[in-house]
Amino acid sequence: MMVRSNDKDYPILKDKIKRIVYWIFGLLFIAITLSLVVNFFTVNDKATPSNKNEVSTVTKETEKEVKGKIEKIKEVTKTEKPPQQAKGFQELMVHLLYKKTIGTVIVKHFLMYLGLMILYLLFLLTQKDVSNLKVAGLEVGTNQDVQAEFYRAVEEQKNKFDFLTFWMREENRLKFIRSTDIEHRTFLGFLSRMLEKMQEYYRDEWNINFSFTIYKMSEFEQSNLPRKVKNSAASLMEEDKGLPILKENNLYYHKNYLIYKVTEVNVRDATDIKEYMIVLSSYYSEFEEVDGILISGLSALINLIYIQTTQSDFIVYLLKENEGAGD
């Protein structure tokens, strides 16, 4: 098994902060819901506004002469006033805050839910990978130029194929072989070197960081990779290209994967066949179909380089043996 980890391919701080914020929003939602339930069951019936009119009593004393005597007479006057309604925004807010009725409980918690939803939408819009949001018929968008994004994606795909084309040129292929140490001129040696070149290219061009591991098939089956990755290996028989596998949950400690199976045939013994599984992984970057095609093309190129180099080295070896025998 050959492993090449990328020091920059680790969960970034932004992902951890995002996860904490999601937890905060979730806890706030639960807290508001619990508050709504508790307030429903603790509404004071006495606080419920009465439909009866307010009665005010006024007592007035008057003096009156009766049979030569002055007597004091009390006159009681009762007046009814209709219940006063809250007027203006300020009075309405005071009514909502200090009057605990079923109506005020519903309105207060509705405003809390609305405020939480607005904050959540604003948070999502701050994420650079979100361009449009549509929640319950409400669509919120940024000013991202969709057409420019499309051309950027096309240009990125072209550059990835240019990487393959570059190494297919004979002069670059020979340069690659010469730069590889003699002890690394094996199928796995060439393959790992090319994947390292791919790592560097992705990092320099698009700041995409990934790690890779080359497993023997027995090692792949016994590895601690997610079950989804192992089960997807059977799909590689249908198409000759790498298979992107996105993380199951958008959590910072989960990975995106790309897998591709390669075969090494011993040049000196065609019955000696070995199979390997290439596994690319990245915490932050997602692999696409074009990456799978690129891996397939690079693997075919490495197979060609390996066969040519091995045959050439074998011919040189035979010539030296003949020269030694002649002496």
Here the tokens at position 47 are: 């606080």
The first and second tokens of residue 302, run together, are: 């490495």
- Report pLDDT for 50: 47
List Cβ neighbours of 30 (8 Å cut-off, separation of 6 or more): none
Confidence class of residue 144 from pLDDT cuts 50, 70 and 90? low
- Predicted confidence (pLDDT) per residue in 242-263, tens digit: 999 998 777 767 899 999 999 9
Compute the mean pLDDT over every residue in the chain, rounded to the nearest whole number.
Answer: 79
Q: What is the pLDDT of residue 81?
A: 61
Q: In this predicted structure, what is the pLDDT of residue 48?
A: 46
CA distance 252 to 264: 35
Contacts of 213 (CB under 8 A, 6+ apart): 1, 2, 3, 4, 278, 279, 281
Q: Report the candidate in 255, 243, 248 with the shortest Cα–Cα distance to residue 285.
A: 255
pLDDT 10s digits, 264-285: 988 778 888 999 999 999 988 8
Report d(CA 324, CA 318) in Å as an integer: 10
Tokens standing for residue 142: 């940024």
Q: Is the pLDDT of residue 89 over 80?
A: no
- When pLDDT is cut at 50, 70 and 90, the band that residue 123 belongs to is confident
**Residue with tokens 């990975």, as numbered in its chain:** 255
Over range 190-194, report the average pLDDT. 94
- Each residue's pLDDT tens digit, 98-114: 667 777 778 777 888 88
d(CA 262, CA 284): 26
pLDDT band at 288 (very low <50, low <70, confident <90, very high): very high
Q: Say which residue, 150 or 211, is predicted with more confidence.
A: 211
Residues 6+ apart with CB under 8 A from 231: none
Confidence label for 217 from pLDDT (cuts 50, 70 and 90): very high
pLDDT top residue among 188 and 120: 188
Cβ neighbours of 311 (radius 10 Å): 12
